[in-house]
Amino acid sequence: MSQWNRVAIIGVGLIGGSLGLDLLRRRLARHVVGIGRRVANLEIAQARGLVTSTSMSIPAGVAECDLVIVCTPVGDVAGRLLEAAASTPAGCLLTDAGSTKGTIVAELDARLPSAVRFVGSHPLAGSEKAGPQAAVADLFVGRTVVITPTSRTRPADEAAVRELWQSLDARVVSMTPDEHDRVVAATSHLPHLAAAALAAATPAEGAELIARGWLDTTRIAGGDVELWTQIFAANRTHVLTALEQYGKVLDSFRQAIIAGDDAKLRDLLNEAKRARDALGS
Amino acid sequence: MSQWNRVAIIGVGLIGGSLGLDLLRRRLARHVVGIGRRVANLEIAQARGLVTSTSMSIPAGVAECDLVIVCTPVGDVAGRLLEAAASTPAGCLLTDAGSTKGTIVAELDARLPSAVRFVGSHPLAGSEKAGPQAAVADLFVGRTVVITPTSRTRPADEAAVRELWQSLDARVVSMTPDEHDRVVAATSHLPHLAAAALAAATPAEGAELIARGWLDTTRIAGGDVELWTQIFAANRTHVLTALEQYGKVLDSFRQAIIAGDDAKLRDLLNEAKRARDALGS
Protein backbone atom coordinates (compact mmCIF):
# COMPACT_ATOMS: atom_id res chain seq x y z
CA MET A 1 0.00 0.00 0.00
CA SER A 2 2.81 2.38 -0.93
CA GLN A 3 1.83 6.00 -1.48
CA TRP A 4 4.36 6.33 -4.29
CA ASN A 5 5.17 3.86 -6.98
CA ARG A 6 8.37 5.38 -8.27
CA VAL A 7 10.27 8.28 -6.68
CA ALA A 8 13.29 9.99 -8.20
CA ILE A 9 15.77 11.67 -5.85
CA ILE A 10 18.18 13.98 -7.63
CA GLY A 11 21.23 14.36 -5.38
CA VAL A 12 21.81 11.43 -3.02
CA GLY A 13 23.69 13.19 -0.20
CA LEU A 14 22.78 13.50 3.46
CA ILE A 15 19.27 14.80 2.75
CA GLY A 16 18.48 12.93 -0.47
CA GLY A 17 19.96 9.67 0.80
CA SER A 18 18.07 9.87 4.10
CA LEU A 19 14.86 10.63 2.21
CA GLY A 20 15.30 7.55 0.02
CA LEU A 21 16.07 5.38 3.00
CA ASP A 22 12.97 6.53 4.89
CA LEU A 23 10.65 6.23 1.88
CA LEU A 24 11.79 2.62 1.42
CA ARG A 25 11.97 1.60 5.09
CA ARG A 26 8.54 3.00 5.79
CA ARG A 27 7.20 1.34 2.62
CA LEU A 28 6.00 4.71 1.35
CA ALA A 29 7.64 4.12 -2.04
CA ARG A 30 8.04 0.94 -4.10
CA HIS A 31 11.01 2.17 -6.13
CA VAL A 32 13.47 4.98 -5.45
CA VAL A 33 15.74 6.04 -8.30
CA GLY A 34 18.89 7.84 -7.14
CA ILE A 35 20.08 10.34 -9.74
CA GLY A 36 23.48 12.00 -9.54
CA ARG A 37 26.61 12.92 -11.40
CA ARG A 38 29.16 11.01 -9.33
CA VAL A 39 29.25 7.27 -9.85
CA ALA A 40 30.93 6.77 -6.47
CA ASN A 41 28.07 8.46 -4.59
CA LEU A 42 25.42 6.53 -6.52
CA GLU A 43 27.21 3.28 -5.74
CA ILE A 44 27.33 4.11 -2.02
CA ALA A 45 23.65 5.05 -2.07
CA GLN A 46 22.71 1.78 -3.72
CA ALA A 47 24.98 -0.31 -1.51
CA ARG A 48 23.51 1.30 1.59
CA GLY A 49 19.95 0.68 0.45
CA LEU A 50 19.10 4.38 0.18
CA VAL A 51 17.77 3.83 -3.36
CA THR A 52 16.64 0.82 -5.37
CA SER A 53 18.25 1.88 -8.66
CA THR A 54 20.47 4.66 -9.94
CA SER A 55 20.81 6.80 -13.03
CA MET A 56 23.16 9.50 -14.23
CA SER A 57 20.49 10.92 -16.53
CA ILE A 58 17.67 13.08 -15.25
CA PRO A 59 15.36 12.48 -18.25
CA ALA A 60 15.83 8.71 -18.03
CA GLY A 61 15.70 8.62 -14.21
CA VAL A 62 12.51 10.61 -13.75
CA ALA A 63 10.51 8.88 -16.49
CA GLU A 64 7.55 7.01 -15.00
CA CYS A 65 8.01 8.70 -11.60
CA ASP A 66 5.08 10.04 -9.60
CA LEU A 67 7.35 12.05 -7.26
CA VAL A 68 10.64 13.87 -7.88
CA ILE A 69 12.66 15.50 -5.09
CA VAL A 70 15.72 17.60 -5.94
CA CYS A 71 18.26 17.50 -3.09
CA THR A 72 21.27 19.18 -4.68
CA PRO A 73 23.05 22.29 -3.37
CA VAL A 74 20.80 25.32 -3.91
CA GLY A 75 22.63 26.68 -6.96
CA ASP A 76 21.64 23.61 -8.97
CA VAL A 77 18.07 23.11 -7.74
CA ALA A 78 16.16 25.26 -10.25
CA GLY A 79 18.04 23.85 -13.24
CA ARG A 80 17.54 20.24 -12.16
CA LEU A 81 13.86 20.82 -11.48
CA LEU A 82 13.32 22.35 -14.89
CA GLU A 83 15.17 19.48 -16.53
CA ALA A 84 13.16 16.93 -14.56
CA ALA A 85 9.83 18.63 -15.23
CA ALA A 86 10.43 18.27 -18.96
CA SER A 87 10.53 14.47 -18.68
CA THR A 88 8.11 13.56 -15.93
CA PRO A 89 4.71 12.02 -16.65
CA ALA A 90 1.63 14.22 -16.27
CA GLY A 91 0.56 14.49 -12.63
CA CYS A 92 4.04 13.91 -11.20
CA LEU A 93 4.64 15.93 -8.03
CA LEU A 94 7.94 17.87 -7.81
CA THR A 95 9.61 19.40 -4.80
CA ASP A 96 13.12 20.17 -3.57
CA ALA A 97 15.10 20.40 -0.36
CA GLY A 98 16.99 23.62 -1.04
CA SER A 99 18.12 25.75 1.91
CA THR A 100 16.93 28.93 0.19
CA LYS A 101 13.64 29.35 -1.58
CA GLY A 102 13.28 32.83 -3.08
CA THR A 103 15.37 32.56 -6.24
CA ILE A 104 14.45 28.91 -6.82
CA VAL A 105 10.71 29.34 -6.53
CA ALA A 106 10.68 32.58 -8.54
CA GLU A 107 12.55 30.92 -11.40
CA LEU A 108 10.24 27.91 -11.42
CA ASP A 109 7.09 30.00 -11.15
CA ALA A 110 8.29 31.93 -14.19
CA ARG A 111 9.46 28.99 -16.28
CA LEU A 112 7.47 25.88 -15.40
CA PRO A 113 4.34 25.11 -17.44
CA SER A 114 1.36 25.82 -15.21
CA ALA A 115 0.24 22.18 -15.34
CA VAL A 116 3.39 21.03 -13.50
CA ARG A 117 2.79 20.31 -9.84
CA PHE A 118 5.67 21.96 -7.92
CA VAL A 119 5.89 23.23 -4.34
CA GLY A 120 9.22 24.20 -2.75
CA SER A 121 10.39 22.58 0.49
CA HIS A 122 13.21 23.06 2.97
CA PRO A 123 13.74 20.35 5.58
CA LEU A 124 15.74 21.87 8.46
CA ALA A 125 17.80 18.73 8.90
CA GLY A 126 21.22 19.75 7.61
CA SER A 127 24.42 18.92 9.38
CA GLU A 128 28.12 19.49 9.00
CA LYS A 129 28.22 15.96 7.58
CA ALA A 130 27.69 15.40 3.88
CA GLY A 131 27.30 12.69 1.26
CA PRO A 132 25.36 9.42 1.06
CA GLN A 133 27.59 7.89 3.74
CA ALA A 134 26.06 10.43 6.19
CA ALA A 135 22.46 9.48 5.40
CA VAL A 136 20.50 8.04 8.33
CA ALA A 137 17.05 6.64 8.97
CA ASP A 138 14.47 8.91 10.60
CA LEU A 139 16.48 12.06 9.89
CA PHE A 140 13.28 14.08 9.57
CA VAL A 141 11.44 12.84 12.66
CA GLY A 142 10.45 15.87 14.73
CA ARG A 143 12.34 18.22 12.39
CA THR A 144 10.74 21.29 10.87
CA VAL A 145 10.14 21.35 7.13
CA VAL A 146 9.14 24.65 5.56
CA ILE A 147 7.04 24.43 2.44
CA THR A 148 6.67 27.55 0.32
CA PRO A 149 3.50 27.67 -1.77
CA THR A 150 2.88 30.78 -3.88
CA SER A 151 -0.15 32.34 -5.51
CA ARG A 152 0.49 29.90 -8.38
CA THR A 153 0.25 26.81 -6.13
CA ARG A 154 -2.85 24.62 -6.24
CA PRO A 155 -4.09 23.74 -2.72
CA ALA A 156 -4.09 20.02 -3.59
CA ASP A 157 -0.38 20.21 -4.50
CA GLU A 158 0.48 22.04 -1.29
CA ALA A 159 -1.42 19.36 0.63
CA ALA A 160 0.43 16.58 -1.19
CA VAL A 161 3.86 18.02 -0.35
CA ARG A 162 2.78 18.62 3.22
CA GLU A 163 1.67 14.99 3.51
CA LEU A 164 4.96 13.78 2.01
CA TRP A 165 6.96 15.35 4.85
CA GLN A 166 4.37 14.45 7.46
CA SER A 167 4.64 10.83 6.37
CA LEU A 168 8.30 11.05 7.51
CA ASP A 169 7.12 12.47 10.86
CA ALA A 170 8.36 15.99 10.20
CA ARG A 171 6.58 19.09 11.44
CA VAL A 172 5.47 21.13 8.42
CA VAL A 173 5.29 24.93 8.36
CA SER A 174 4.02 26.97 5.42
CA MET A 175 5.63 30.32 4.52
CA THR A 176 6.20 32.51 1.48
CA PRO A 177 9.61 31.95 -0.13
CA ASP A 178 10.79 35.43 0.89
CA GLU A 179 9.59 35.08 4.49
CA HIS A 180 11.43 31.75 4.67
CA ASP A 181 14.65 33.25 3.33
CA ARG A 182 14.50 36.22 5.70
CA VAL A 183 14.03 34.04 8.78
CA VAL A 184 16.61 31.35 7.92
CA ALA A 185 19.12 34.11 7.17
CA ALA A 186 19.02 34.80 10.92
CA THR A 187 18.54 31.27 12.28
CA SER A 188 20.75 29.28 9.92
CA HIS A 189 22.86 31.32 7.50
CA LEU A 190 24.14 33.89 10.01
CA PRO A 191 25.10 31.15 12.52
CA HIS A 192 27.15 29.52 9.78
CA LEU A 193 28.98 32.78 9.04
CA ALA A 194 29.52 33.43 12.76
CA ALA A 195 30.91 29.93 13.28
CA ALA A 196 33.10 30.03 10.18
CA ALA A 197 34.55 33.42 11.09
CA LEU A 198 35.23 32.17 14.62
CA ALA A 199 37.08 29.10 13.36
CA ALA A 200 39.06 31.20 10.90
CA ALA A 201 39.91 33.80 13.58
CA THR A 202 41.35 31.25 16.01
CA PRO A 203 45.14 31.56 16.18
CA ALA A 204 47.21 28.41 15.60
CA GLU A 205 48.51 28.46 19.17
CA GLY A 206 44.92 28.09 20.34
CA ALA A 207 44.92 24.42 19.40
CA GLU A 208 46.05 23.33 22.85
CA LEU A 209 43.33 25.27 24.65
CA ILE A 210 40.29 24.23 22.63
CA ALA A 211 37.42 23.18 24.88
CA ARG A 212 33.77 22.28 24.51
CA GLY A 213 32.54 25.85 24.05
CA TRP A 214 34.71 26.39 20.98
CA LEU A 215 33.80 22.97 19.58
CA ASP A 216 30.06 23.59 19.90
CA THR A 217 30.20 27.14 18.61
CA THR A 218 32.28 26.32 15.53
CA ARG A 219 30.83 22.88 14.71
CA ILE A 220 28.88 23.93 11.61
CA ALA A 221 31.98 25.59 10.14
CA GLY A 222 33.00 22.05 9.16
CA GLY A 223 30.05 21.93 6.74
CA ASP A 224 30.22 21.52 2.98
CA VAL A 225 31.90 24.57 1.47
CA GLU A 226 30.26 24.46 -1.94
CA LEU A 227 26.81 24.06 -0.42
CA TRP A 228 27.29 27.10 1.79
CA THR A 229 28.86 29.24 -0.92
CA GLN A 230 25.70 28.69 -2.96
CA ILE A 231 23.42 29.43 0.00
CA PHE A 232 25.10 32.80 0.68
CA ALA A 233 24.98 33.66 -3.02
CA ALA A 234 21.29 32.76 -3.24
CA ASN A 235 20.25 34.64 -0.10
CA ARG A 236 22.61 37.61 -0.28
CA THR A 237 20.26 40.43 0.75
CA HIS A 238 18.74 38.76 3.78
CA VAL A 239 22.14 37.40 4.91
CA LEU A 240 23.66 40.89 4.75
CA THR A 241 20.77 42.27 6.80
CA ALA A 242 21.23 39.54 9.42
CA LEU A 243 24.98 40.16 9.46
CA GLU A 244 24.41 43.86 9.97
CA GLN A 245 22.15 43.15 12.94
CA TYR A 246 24.78 40.77 14.35
CA GLY A 247 27.46 43.44 13.95
CA LYS A 248 25.33 45.89 15.94
CA VAL A 249 24.91 43.46 18.83
CA LEU A 250 28.61 42.56 18.81
CA ASP A 251 29.39 46.26 18.91
CA SER A 252 27.16 46.74 21.97
CA PHE A 253 29.21 44.05 23.72
CA ARG A 254 32.42 45.71 22.57
CA GLN A 255 31.36 49.13 23.83
CA ALA A 256 30.37 47.72 27.22
CA ILE A 257 33.74 45.95 27.56
CA ILE A 258 35.70 49.05 26.48
CA ALA A 259 33.77 51.21 28.94
CA GLY A 260 34.22 48.67 31.73
CA ASP A 261 30.43 48.90 32.08
CA ASP A 262 29.73 45.61 33.85
CA ALA A 263 26.06 46.46 34.41
CA LYS A 264 25.55 46.91 30.67
CA LEU A 265 27.54 43.76 29.92
CA ARG A 266 25.40 41.82 32.40
CA ASP A 267 22.25 43.15 30.69
CA LEU A 268 23.49 42.05 27.28
CA LEU A 269 24.48 38.61 28.54
CA ASN A 270 21.14 38.23 30.30
CA GLU A 271 19.29 39.15 27.11
CA ALA A 272 21.33 36.57 25.18
CA LYS A 273 20.74 33.91 27.82
CA ARG A 274 17.00 34.56 27.82
CA ALA A 275 16.92 34.24 24.02
CA ARG A 276 18.95 31.02 24.15
CA ASP A 277 17.03 29.46 27.01
CA ALA A 278 13.70 30.31 25.37
CA LEU A 279 14.57 28.72 22.05
CA GLY A 280 16.32 25.49 22.74
CA SER A 281 18.06 23.02 24.95
CA MET B 1 46.71 6.04 51.21
CA SER B 2 45.03 9.39 50.45
CA GLN B 3 47.29 12.08 49.05
CA TRP B 4 45.43 14.75 50.96
CA ASN B 5 44.08 14.62 54.48
CA ARG B 6 41.80 17.62 54.35
CA VAL B 7 40.91 19.66 51.27
CA ALA B 8 38.90 22.88 51.29
CA ILE B 9 36.95 23.80 48.17
CA ILE B 10 35.74 27.38 48.15
CA GLY B 11 32.80 27.57 45.77
CA VAL B 12 30.97 24.27 45.27
CA GLY B 13 29.50 24.79 41.79
CA LEU B 14 30.07 22.73 38.66
CA ILE B 15 33.86 22.83 38.93
CA GLY B 16 34.28 22.84 42.71
CA GLY B 17 31.62 20.21 43.25
CA SER B 18 33.04 17.92 40.58
CA LEU B 19 36.51 18.34 42.10
CA GLY B 20 35.25 17.33 45.54
CA LEU B 21 33.42 14.36 44.12
CA ASP B 22 36.48 13.11 42.26
CA LEU B 23 38.86 13.65 45.20
CA LEU B 24 36.56 11.56 47.39
CA ARG B 25 35.61 8.87 44.84
CA ARG B 26 39.22 8.33 43.88
CA ARG B 27 40.22 8.27 47.56
CA LEU B 28 42.67 11.09 46.95
CA ALA B 29 41.32 13.05 49.93
CA ARG B 30 40.04 11.87 53.32
CA HIS B 31 37.96 14.97 54.02
CA VAL B 32 36.61 17.64 51.68
CA VAL B 33 35.22 20.81 53.24
CA GLY B 34 32.83 22.70 50.99
CA ILE B 35 32.91 26.42 51.67
CA GLY B 36 30.34 28.82 50.27
CA ARG B 37 27.97 31.65 50.99
CA ARG B 38 24.70 30.00 49.99
CA VAL B 39 23.34 27.45 52.44
CA ALA B 40 21.22 25.85 49.71
CA ASN B 41 24.25 25.12 47.54
CA LEU B 42 26.25 23.72 50.47
CA GLU B 43 23.33 21.46 51.36
CA ILE B 44 23.09 20.16 47.80
CA ALA B 45 26.86 19.56 47.74
CA GLN B 46 26.74 17.60 50.98
CA ALA B 47 23.62 15.65 50.01
CA ARG B 48 25.21 14.68 46.70
CA GLY B 49 28.42 13.53 48.38
CA LEU B 50 30.56 16.19 46.71
CA VAL B 51 32.00 17.19 50.10
CA THR B 52 32.19 15.57 53.52
CA SER B 53 31.46 18.73 55.51
CA THR B 54 30.55 22.35 54.87
CA SER B 55 31.34 25.75 56.25
CA MET B 56 30.27 29.31 55.55
CA SER B 57 33.51 30.66 57.01
CA ILE B 58 36.76 30.61 55.08
CA PRO B 59 39.03 30.94 58.15
CA ALA B 60 37.22 28.10 59.95
CA GLY B 61 36.85 25.96 56.83
CA VAL B 62 40.48 26.06 55.71
CA ALA B 63 42.04 25.49 59.14
CA GLU B 64 43.94 22.19 59.21
CA CYS B 65 43.71 21.80 55.41
CA ASP B 66 46.68 20.70 53.33
CA LEU B 67 45.03 21.80 50.04
CA VAL B 68 42.72 24.71 49.23
CA ILE B 69 41.11 25.18 45.80
CA VAL B 70 39.14 28.34 45.05
CA CYS B 71 36.42 27.66 42.46
CA THR B 72 34.40 30.89 42.57
CA PRO B 73 33.72 33.19 39.61
CA VAL B 74 36.96 34.98 38.68
CA GLY B 75 36.12 38.30 40.28
CA ASP B 76 36.16 36.68 43.73
CA VAL B 77 39.14 34.37 43.35
CA ALA B 78 41.97 36.66 44.52
CA GLY B 79 40.07 37.87 47.57
CA ARG B 80 39.10 34.35 48.63
CA LEU B 81 42.64 33.09 48.15
CA LEU B 82 44.08 35.91 50.27
CA GLU B 83 41.53 35.27 52.98
CA ALA B 84 42.23 31.54 52.92
CA ALA B 85 46.02 31.98 52.95
CA ALA B 86 45.75 33.95 56.19
CA SER B 87 44.25 30.92 57.97
CA THR B 88 45.86 27.87 56.41
CA PRO B 89 48.53 25.85 58.22
CA ALA B 90 52.13 26.21 57.02
CA GLY B 91 52.81 24.08 53.97
CA CYS B 92 49.22 24.12 52.69
CA LEU B 93 49.02 24.18 48.90
CA LEU B 94 46.65 26.73 47.32
CA THR B 95 45.31 26.91 43.80
CA ASP B 96 42.20 28.10 41.98
CA ALA B 97 40.09 27.25 38.96
CA GLY B 98 39.59 30.76 37.60
CA SER B 99 38.96 31.20 33.87
CA THR B 100 41.39 34.13 33.71
CA LYS B 101 44.79 34.20 35.31
CA GLY B 102 46.57 37.55 34.74
CA THR B 103 44.89 39.79 37.31
CA ILE B 104 44.47 36.99 39.86
CA VAL B 105 48.07 35.80 39.80
CA ALA B 106 49.49 39.33 39.73
CA GLU B 107 47.49 40.30 42.82
CA LEU B 108 48.53 37.18 44.70
CA ASP B 109 52.17 37.48 43.70
CA ALA B 110 52.10 41.02 45.06
CA ARG B 111 50.20 40.34 48.26
CA LEU B 112 50.82 36.76 49.42
CA PRO B 113 53.67 36.13 51.89
CA SER B 114 56.44 34.38 49.96
CA ALA B 115 56.18 31.27 52.13
CA VAL B 116 52.63 30.56 50.87
CA ARG B 117 52.51 27.82 48.25
CA PHE B 118 50.25 29.12 45.47
CA VAL B 119 50.08 28.22 41.77
CA GLY B 120 47.17 29.31 39.55
CA SER B 121 45.13 26.75 37.59
CA HIS B 122 42.41 26.82 34.95
CA PRO B 123 40.66 23.55 34.16
CA LEU B 124 39.03 23.86 30.72
CA ALA B 125 35.94 21.99 31.84
CA GLY B 126 33.28 24.69 31.99
CA SER B 127 29.81 24.27 30.60
CA GLU B 128 26.62 26.24 30.22
CA LYS B 129 25.44 24.35 33.29
CA ALA B 130 26.15 25.73 36.75
CA GLY B 131 25.82 24.92 40.44
CA PRO B 132 26.47 21.83 42.59
CA GLN B 133 23.56 20.03 40.91
CA ALA B 134 25.61 20.11 37.67
CA ALA B 135 28.70 18.50 39.24
CA VAL B 136 29.66 15.14 37.76
CA ALA B 137 32.28 12.47 38.35
CA ASP B 138 35.31 12.38 36.04
CA LEU B 139 34.67 15.90 34.74
CA PHE B 140 38.40 16.46 34.25
CA VAL B 141 39.30 13.19 32.53
CA GLY B 142 41.09 14.03 29.30
CA ARG B 143 40.43 17.76 29.77
CA THR B 144 43.19 20.33 29.57
CA VAL B 145 44.19 22.17 32.72
CA VAL B 146 46.48 25.18 32.36
CA ILE B 147 48.69 25.93 35.33
CA THR B 148 50.39 29.31 35.46
CA PRO B 149 53.61 29.37 37.48
CA THR B 150 55.52 32.65 37.64
CA SER B 151 59.09 33.63 38.50
CA ARG B 152 57.95 33.51 42.14
CA THR B 153 56.79 29.87 41.93
CA ARG B 154 58.90 27.14 43.55
CA PRO B 155 59.34 24.13 41.21
CA ALA B 156 58.08 21.77 43.93
CA ASP B 157 54.83 23.72 44.20
CA GLU B 158 54.33 23.72 40.44
CA ALA B 159 54.92 19.96 40.47
CA ALA B 160 52.40 19.48 43.29
CA VAL B 161 49.64 21.38 41.45
CA ARG B 162 50.47 19.52 38.24
CA GLU B 163 50.14 16.21 40.08
CA LEU B 164 46.83 17.27 41.63
CA TRP B 165 45.23 17.67 38.19
CA GLN B 166 47.01 14.65 36.77
CA SER B 167 45.57 12.56 39.61
CA LEU B 168 42.15 13.45 38.14
CA ASP B 169 43.38 12.31 34.70
CA ALA B 170 43.56 15.80 33.24
CA ARG B 171 46.18 16.85 30.70
CA VAL B 172 48.28 19.63 32.26
CA VAL B 173 49.83 22.49 30.28
CA SER B 174 52.07 25.17 31.80
CA MET B 175 51.89 28.79 30.57
CA THR B 176 52.48 32.29 31.87
CA PRO B 177 49.29 33.97 33.15
CA ASP B 178 49.35 36.50 30.30
CA GLU B 179 49.93 33.87 27.61
CA HIS B 180 47.00 31.88 29.05
CA ASP B 181 44.71 34.91 29.01
CA ARG B 182 45.65 35.84 25.44
CA VAL B 183 44.96 32.36 24.10
CA VAL B 184 41.69 31.72 25.98
CA ALA B 185 40.44 35.13 24.85
CA ALA B 186 40.38 33.59 21.35
CA THR B 187 39.40 30.00 22.17
CA SER B 188 36.89 30.55 24.98
CA HIS B 189 35.93 34.17 25.65
CA LEU B 190 35.40 35.24 22.04
CA PRO B 191 33.24 32.15 21.30
CA HIS B 192 31.06 33.12 24.25
CA LEU B 193 30.62 36.66 22.90
CA ALA B 194 29.95 35.36 19.40
CA ALA B 195 27.35 32.91 20.69
CA ALA B 196 25.69 35.45 22.98
CA ALA B 197 25.48 38.06 20.23
CA LEU B 198 24.01 35.46 17.89
CA ALA B 199 21.33 34.45 20.38
CA ALA B 200 20.50 38.10 21.09
CA ALA B 201 20.37 38.95 17.37
CA THR B 202 17.85 36.22 16.55
CA PRO B 203 14.43 37.74 15.82
CA ALA B 204 11.46 36.39 17.77
CA GLU B 205 9.87 34.98 14.62
CA GLY B 206 12.94 32.78 14.22
CA ALA B 207 11.72 30.48 16.99
CA GLU B 208 9.89 28.21 14.58
CA LEU B 209 12.91 27.75 12.33
CA ILE B 210 15.57 26.95 14.91
CA ALA B 211 17.61 23.92 13.90
CA ARG B 212 20.69 22.10 15.08
CA GLY B 213 23.19 24.62 13.70
CA TRP B 214 21.71 27.45 15.74
CA LEU B 215 21.45 25.28 18.84
CA ASP B 216 25.11 24.24 18.64
CA THR B 217 26.40 27.68 17.80
CA THR B 218 24.53 29.45 20.60
CA ARG B 219 24.72 26.73 23.29
CA ILE B 220 27.24 28.50 25.53
CA ALA B 221 25.13 31.66 25.53
CA GLY B 222 23.02 29.86 28.16
CA GLY B 223 25.98 30.01 30.56
CA ASP B 224 26.09 31.77 33.92
CA VAL B 225 25.80 35.53 33.33
CA GLU B 226 27.65 36.68 36.43
CA LEU B 227 30.55 34.32 35.77
CA TRP B 228 30.95 35.62 32.22
CA THR B 229 30.56 39.27 33.16
CA GLN B 230 33.51 38.81 35.50
CA ILE B 231 35.56 36.96 32.88
CA PHE B 232 35.15 39.75 30.33
CA ALA B 233 35.98 42.36 32.97
CA ALA B 234 39.10 40.47 34.04
CA ASN B 235 40.38 39.84 30.51
CA ARG B 236 39.30 43.06 28.81
CA THR B 237 42.38 43.79 26.70
CA HIS B 238 42.83 40.35 25.23
CA VAL B 239 39.08 39.94 24.64
CA LEU B 240 38.94 43.23 22.74
CA THR B 241 41.89 42.14 20.59
CA ALA B 242 40.19 38.82 19.82
CA LEU B 243 36.94 40.63 19.05
CA GLU B 244 38.74 42.98 16.69
CA GLN B 245 40.26 40.04 14.83
CA TYR B 246 36.81 38.40 14.64
CA GLY B 247 35.34 41.62 13.25
CA LYS B 248 37.97 41.65 10.51
CA VAL B 249 37.17 38.09 9.45
CA LEU B 250 33.42 38.76 9.53
CA ASP B 251 34.02 41.81 7.38
CA SER B 252 35.91 39.72 4.81
CA PHE B 253 32.86 37.48 4.56
CA ARG B 254 30.61 40.51 4.28
CA GLN B 255 32.69 42.06 1.50
CA ALA B 256 32.74 38.80 -0.45
CA ILE B 257 28.94 38.48 -0.18
CA ILE B 258 28.36 42.13 -1.14
CA ALA B 259 30.66 41.77 -4.16
CA GLY B 260 29.02 38.49 -5.16
CA ASP B 261 32.58 37.12 -5.17
CA ASP B 262 31.84 33.41 -4.81
CA ALA B 263 35.49 32.44 -5.33
CA LYS B 264 36.52 34.61 -2.38
CA LEU B 265 33.63 33.33 -0.29
CA ARG B 266 34.64 29.75 -1.10
CA ASP B 267 38.23 30.54 -0.02
CA LEU B 268 37.05 31.98 3.29
CA LEU B 269 34.75 29.04 3.98
CA ASN B 270 37.52 26.60 3.09
CA GLU B 271 39.92 28.34 5.46
CA ALA B 272 37.31 28.13 8.23
CA LYS B 273 36.60 24.48 7.51
CA ARG B 274 40.31 23.64 7.57
CA ALA B 275 40.68 25.39 10.94
CA ARG B 276 37.62 23.61 12.35
CA ASP B 277 38.52 20.18 11.01
CA ALA B 278 42.10 20.52 12.29
CA LEU B 279 41.07 21.41 15.82
CA GLY B 280 38.17 19.23 16.77
CA SER B 281 35.48 16.74 16.05
Write out chain B residues lying below 8 Å of A124, CB-based.
209, 211
Q: Identify which of A188, A199, A215 has the shortest CB distance to residue B211.
A: A188
Is residue B84 within 8 A of residue B8, CB to CB? The reply is: yes
What pLDDT sits at residue A150? 96
Q: Which helix (H) or strand (E) holds A173?
A: strand A171-174
Q: What is the mean pLDDT of residues B139-158?
A: 96
Q: How far apart are CA A163 and CA A166, in angstroms?
A: 5
Partner residue facing A220 (CB), from B146, B213, B260: B213
Could you say which of A146, A187, A253 has the minimum Cβ distance to residue B206?
A: A187
Chain A residue with the nearest C-alpha to that of B269: A225
Q: Residue B46 class from Cβ within 10 Å (0-12 exposed, 13-18 middle, 19+ buried)?
A: middle
What was the pLDDT predicted at A2?
A: 66
User: Does residue B23 have a pLDDT over 60?
Assistant: yes
The residue of B146, B229, B281 whose CB has the most chain A CBs within 10 angstroms, and thus the best one to mutate to test that interface, is B229
Q: Do residue A195 and residue B253 have CB atoms under 8 angstroms apart?
A: no
Please determine, for residue B227, whether its predicted confidence score (pLDDT) is greater than 80.
Answer: yes
Q: Per-residue confidence at B2, pLDDT binned at 50, 70, 90?
A: low
Terminal CA-to-CA distance of chain B, rounded, Å? 38
Give B236's contacts in chain A (Cβ within 8 Å): 257-258, 260
Mean pLDDT of all residues in chain B?
A: 96
The stretch B117-128 carries a mean pLDDT of 93
Per residue in B197-222, pLDDT (tens digit) is 999 999 988 998 998 999 999 999 99
> Shortest Cα distance from A179 to chain B (angstroms)?
10
Does residue B187 have a pLDDT over 60?
yes
Low-confidence ranges of chain A (pLDDT < 50): 1
How far apart, in whole angstroms, are the C-alpha atoms of residue B149 and residue B162?
A: 10
DSSP string over B85-100? HTTSPTT-EEEE--S-
pLDDT digits (tens, 9 = 90+) for A88-122: 999 999 999 999 999 999 999 999 999 999 999 99
Cβ-defined contact of A276 to B218 (cutoff 8 Å) = yes
> Cβ of A272 and B188 within 8 Å?
no
Closest by CA to B122, choosing from B97, B101, B91, B154, is B97
Q: Does B247 sit within 8 Å of A279, measured CB to CB?
A: no
Residue B173: list chain A partners with CB under 8 A: 208-209
Select the residue of A225, A262, A270 nearest B270 (Cβ to Cβ): A225
Q: Which of A147, A228, A229, A237 to mutate to test the interface with B (most CBs of B within 10 A)?
A: A229
B277 CB neighbours in chain A (<8 A) are 222
Chain B: residue nearest A240 by CA? B254
Question: pTM, whole model, 2 decimals?
Answer: 0.90
Contacts of B272 by beta carbon, 8 Å cutoff, 6+ apart? A195, A196, A197, A199, A200, A221
Q: In this predicted model, what pLDDT tens digit does every residue of B240-257 receive, in sequence order?
A: 999 999 999 999 999 999
CB contact under 8 A, A212 and B242: no
The C-alpha atoms of residue A273 and residue A267 are separated, in whole angstroms, by 10
Give every CB contact of residue B70 below 8 A, 6+ residues apart in sequence. B10, B11, B76, B77, B80, B81, B84, B94, B95, B96, B97, B98
ipTM metric:
0.90
Q: Does residue B1 register a pLDDT over 60?
A: no
> Which residues of A are less than 8 Å from B280 in CB distance?
210, 214-215, 218
In chain B the beta strands, taken as DSSP E runs, fall at: 4-10, 29-35, 53-55, 67-70, 93-96, 117-118, 120-123, 144-148, 171-174
Q: Do A229 and B188 touch (CB under 8 A)?
A: no
Residue B105 is predicted with a pLDDT of 96
- B contact test, residue of A202, A215, A236, A277 with most B CBs within 10 A: A202
Interface size, chain A vs chain B, as Cβ–Cβ contacts under 8 Å: 286
Select from B236, B262, B272 the Cβ nearest to the Cβ of A200: B272
